[in-house]
């Protein structure tokens, strides 16, 4: 994924960046800056390395005190959006750790069109209390981008970012921010709060279970946060969390006519079909399937996939699905014996093998 994303930094993109910086700083050497960006190491750099490289070269070509550098970069940043503009935040992370106040103001500006979720973590590590105080203020700001930063920046296991090990051990301070945001009306913020809870659940499952107990049923948006924030626990079949969401033991459900391809060609698809049946209505069911992927060392790794999580009012329902076996950067498939299993309300109901050629 990152190999494709890194290509956003075209020659035209960097030329445009240099132009916007030069508008704020007349002495900026645009031609030399562009030449230095696309040096002999550029083609071998991945996405985050390219972000860091751009930040370093910006610093070299802005020979000013840090605070004055920010006064150049803040207006320039308004012309760049999304993840690729995170080199502005990376600049703050690299050169602003000794200037808390000005760095916080800069990260506020840079997060509007992009996100300061990575850079803020270094400030949490160095100035935990100060930074969390600032994040609590952001959590109450009218701007959804700042409120979202308050949650996203303190996630214990934020992908692509350094882990916050103190919060993995004890998420109490993170929960204080979540409490400020749990009733937020912004979908952008709600997703971050749910992802934060999901992070917490991986190290402190009981904390999230208690959060769900205390908040489920109060509002539909908060219900969504609770459920999305519990997705790892639900996948793991945690009995407490399943019961909280109404997924009781499905002893009344039977599986009939489970058919699947017994042989699958690599880069092809596994086709399978089955029917759930009950003498009464099927009821509130979470229906999943697992693929037990064969690994290089001949052990198996289980990966769960969702099929349905609804209240099913009929007494019989058929599911049909195709599972791709195309190789990806995140998963390589190995020839040999694999397994497919069906789960209902967290319980493995049936498991069958198939051969990957």
Can you spell out the DSSP letters for 14-64?
HHHHHHHHHHH-TT--HHHHHHHHT-TTGGG--HHHHHHHHHHHHHHT--S
**What is the number of structural domains in the chain?**
2
Predicted local confidence at residue 131, as pLDDT: 98
* 3 pLDDT higher than 70: no
Q: Which of 161, 141, 159 is nearest to 150 (CA)?
A: 141
Residue ending a domain, among 187, 212, 244, is: 244
Same domain, 233 and 313: no
Contact yes or no for 28/74 (Cβ under 8 A) = no
Structural domain for 320, as ranges:
254-356
**CATH value at residue 125:** 1.25.40.290
Same domain, 91 and 172: yes
Same domain, 208 and 323: no
- The arrangement of strands across the sheet holding 269-277 comes to 254-260, 269-277, 316-324
Residues 232-248: what's their mean pLDDT? 94
* 237 pLDDT higher than 70: yes
Same domain, 319 and 209: no
* pLDDT averaged over every residue in the chain: 95
Band of pLDDT at residue 5, cut at 50, 70 and 90: confident
* 1 pLDDT higher than 50: no
Q: Angle at CA 292, nearest 5°, toward 289 and 296?
A: 155
Same domain, 208 and 303: no
Predicted local confidence at residue 331, as pLDDT: 84
Same domain, 276 and 154: no
DSSP state of 280: S
Same domain, 113 and 70: yes
| pTM of structure | 0.87
* 2 pLDDT higher than 50: no
- 28 within some domain: yes
* 192 pLDDT higher than 60: yes
Same domain, 128 and 268: no
Residues 337-356: what's their mean pLDDT? 96
* 178 pLDDT higher than 70: yes
Query: Could you give the percent of the chain with pLDDT greater than 70?
Result: 99
Residues 203-213: what's their mean pLDDT? 98
Of 153-167, 199-213, 318-332, give the lowest mean pLDDT range: 318-332
Q: Which of 74, 78, 88, 143 is nearest to 117 (CA)?
A: 88
Rounded CA gap, 153 and 196, in Å?
9
Contact yes or no for 94/107 (Cβ under 8 A) = no
**3-state class percentages of the chain: helix first, strand second, coil last, to nearest 5:** 50, 20, 30
- 26 within some domain: yes
Predicted local confidence at residue 4, as pLDDT: 65
Same domain, 200 and 279: no
Band of pLDDT at residue 221, cut at 50, 70 and 90: very high
* 11 pLDDT higher than 60: yes
Of 158-162, 182-186, 194-198, 260-264, give the lowest mean pLDDT range: 158-162
Residues 232-245: what's their mean pLDDT? 95
Contact yes or no for 234/269 (Cβ under 8 A) = no
What is the crossing angle of helices 66-77 and 47-60, to 10°? Answer: 120
- 249 within some domain: no
């Amino acid at each position: 994924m990152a190999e494709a994303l890194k290509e956003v930094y075209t020659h035209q993109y960097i030329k445009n960046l240099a132009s916007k910086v030069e508008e704020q700083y007349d002495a900026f050497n645009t031609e030399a800056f562009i030449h230095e960006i696309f040096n002999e190491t550029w083609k071998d750099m991945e996405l985050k390395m390219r972000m860091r490289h751009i930040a370093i070269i910006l610093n070299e070509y802005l020979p000013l005190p840090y605070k004055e550098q920010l006064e150049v970069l803040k207006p320039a940043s308004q012309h760049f959006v999304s993840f690729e503009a995170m080199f502005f935040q990376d600049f703050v992370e690299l050169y602003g750790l000794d200037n808390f106040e000005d760095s916080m103001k800069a990260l506020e500006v840079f997060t509007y069109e992009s996100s300061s979720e990575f850079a803020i973590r270094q400030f949490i590590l160095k100035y935990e209390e100060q930074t969390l105080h600032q994040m609590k203020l952001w959590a109450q700001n009218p701007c959804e981008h700042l409120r979202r930063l308050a949650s996203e920046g303190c996630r214990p296991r934020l992908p692509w970012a350094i882990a916050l090990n103190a919060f993995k051990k004890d998420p109490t301070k993170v929960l204080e921010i979540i409490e400020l945001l749990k009733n937020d009306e912004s979908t952008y913020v709600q997703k971050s709060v749910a992802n934060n809870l999901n992070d917490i659940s991986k190290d402190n499952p009981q904390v999230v279970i208690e959060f769900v107990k205390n908040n489920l049923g109060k509002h539909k948006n908060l219900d969504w946060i609770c459920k999305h924030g519990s997705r790892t626990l639900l996948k793991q079949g945690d009995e407490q969390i399943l019961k909280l969401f109404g997924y009781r033991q499905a002893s009344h459900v039977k599986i009939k006519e489970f058919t699947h391809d017994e042989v699958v060609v690599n880069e092809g698809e596994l086709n399978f079909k089955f029917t759930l049946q009950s003498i009464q209505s099927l009821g509130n069911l979470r229906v999943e399937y697992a693929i037990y992927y064969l690994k290089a060392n001949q052990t198996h790794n289980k990966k769960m996939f969702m099929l349905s999580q609804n209240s099913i009012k009929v007494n019989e329902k058929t599911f049909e699905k195709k599972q791709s076996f195309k190789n990806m950067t995140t998963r390589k498939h190995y020839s040999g014996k694999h397994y497919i299993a069906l789960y209902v309300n967290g319980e493995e109901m049936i498991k069958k093998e198939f051969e990957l050629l």
